[in-house]
Structure 1
Amino acid sequence: MNDHEGRPAGLRERTRRAVQAEIVATAMRLFLERGFEATTMEQIAGEIGISRRSLFRYFGTKEDIVLGDHAESGRVLQAALEARPAGEPPWDALRAALKTLFESLPYSPEDFLKITGMLHASPSLRARQLEKRQQWTELLVPDIARRLGTDSDPMTQLRAGALVACALACSEAATEAWVRSNGTVDMERAFDEAVAAVRG
């Protein structure tokens, strides 16, 4: 199937993804150099060499640029969880899946620290991040419900939802501790401490 310009639809989609990737890379560089709040959509468009209108065809807001890959990260997390052994306890499976996600991120530890610090410093980004985390919860609950037994039972669904929400909250608490320490706290240990506190 071809689009209206005669290009194969697959090529059009690949071109779109390439432009999106360029926008994200450029915007993240500007955000880290100038700060999230101080960087405008006009500056991002100008840096790339496209019009502001063209930029808005790809991303409606600055928050979308930063958190746009959160949906993809959710799918990576879901796949990592589903790849864990069927008999593995839920907490262990979630911990391993979160570790896989962290190791798959395309950033150096230094850049990830800056990006995470930026997320935590911006109220608008934090609000959107919470929205995205809810989507992650919905992706992870079915696997955890299966691990708990009867996944069609409403109480099993409730327990699975609570477990996933707690694991993500522990991950967030560990990440915050890591950011506050300027990267000196071991994130895995911080996660384990948070989980121990919840389970204790």
Structure 2
Amino acid sequence: MNEAARGSTRDIARAAVRAELTRVALELFRRDGFAQVTLDDLATAAGVSRSTFLRYFGTKEDAVLAAFDGSDRRLADALRARPADEDDWTALRRALDTLIVRYRQDPAGSLATTRLVRETPALRARNLEKQYTWRPALEAALAERAGAEQPTLAQSVRAAAALDCLNVALDHWLVSDGELDLVRLLDEAFAALAAQRPGGTKRPGGTKRAGRGQ
């Protein structure tokens, strides 16, 4: 086996261990509460030592939010892949599909995790901290789509607003206990802002289509 193959095998094995540790952590947090579960509790439940657990996750928060690692890259790649003639706002909405697909694949588990994050101050703060790193990736992708080296103020605002729309949609989805469709909620959140943008074109029923603009 060559070095590249060995490295790939190690990466796959490491990802599998991380996924199992996350699964165990989520079960304990949902059952006993995030604040009540210690790192020792997590290690014991997973059948590993505390030091082994810490090699994969430095904190309890990281064990919960590991699923979002790399989201900045995935979002930016999805945004760059959108059609060149698509306006920024529509492209941002479509790029977010790469995130919400996991909520549709496992709605019950995603709902429980979302509730845990939203209702736990430490997790909520860490999640927002992670999301703050997504915005520059979105801004850079928007700039590239426009053939510019640096994002404009308008592009920075759109990137930030897109993430806010995601969070508001998730909040409403959580309040509905998963009864409302998350995709529709996100569409409505984007449409609510698009309707207020000057210079957009009217759609039937009074909704405006966002112009590309810089």
TM-score w.r.t. the length of structure 1 is: 0.85
Q: Structure 2: which amino acid aligns with 1:162?
A: V
Structure 1 position 103 matched with structure 2 position 101? yes
State the 1:176 CA deviation. 0.3
The residue aligned with 1:142 is: 140
Q: Structure 2: which amino acid aligns with 1:176?
A: D
**Whole-Å separation in 2 of the counterparts to 1:73 and 1:29:** 23
Would the aligned equivalents of 2:143 and 2:155 in 1 still touch at CA under 8 Å? yes
CA-to-partner distance for each residue in 1:34-89, whole Å, 9 max, x for gaps?
A: 23222221111111111112211111111011112322233222222222111111
Structure 2 residue corresponding to 1:81, chosen from 79, 82, 87:
79
Instruction: Extract unaligned runs of 5+ from structure 2.
Output: 197-214
The residue aligned with 1:158 is: 153
Residues 1:106 and 1:95: Cα distance change in structure 2 (over 3 Å): closer
Q: Structure 1: which amino acid aligns with 2:23?
A: A
Residues 1:12 and 1:190: Cα distance change in structure 2 (over 3 Å): closer
Q: Structure 1: which amino acid aligns with 2:164?
A: A
Q: Which moved more, 1:163-172 or 1:91-100?
A: 91-100
CA-to-partner distance for each residue in 1:133-189, whole Å, 9 max, x for gaps?
A: 111111111221234x35235xx4322111010011011001101101111223233
**Whole-Å separation in 1 of the counterparts to 2:18 and 2:136:** 26
Q: Number of residues paired by the alignment? A: 193
Structure 1 residue corresponding to 2:43, chosen from 45, 65, 84:
45
Residues 1:192 and 1:17: Cα distance change in structure 2 (over 3 Å): closer
Would the aligned equivalents of 1:80 and 1:101 in 2 still touch at CA under 8 Å? no
Residues 1:165 and 1:50: Cα distance change in structure 2 (over 3 Å): same
Secondary structure, counterpart of 1:68 in structure 2: helix
The residue aligned with 1:54 is: 52
**Whole-Å separation in 2 of the counterparts to 1:78 and 1:87:** 17
**Whole-Å separation in 2 of the counterparts to 1:130 and 1:57:** 24
TM-score w.r.t. the length of structure 2 is: 0.80
**Whole-Å separation in 1 of the counterparts to 2:103 and 2:181:** 17
The residue aligned with 2:175 is: 180
Q: CA RMSD in A?
A: 2.3
State the 1:97 CA deviation. 1.3
Residues 1:124 and 1:167: Cα distance change in structure 2 (over 3 Å): same
Would the aligned equivalents of 2:93 and 2:190 in 1 still touch at CA under 8 Å? no
**Whole-Å separation in 2 of the counterparts to 1:35 and 1:107:** 25
Instruction: Extract unaligned runs of 5+ from structure 1.
Output: none
The residue aligned with 2:30 is: 32
**Whole-Å separation in 2 of the counterparts to 1:105 and 1:76:** 16
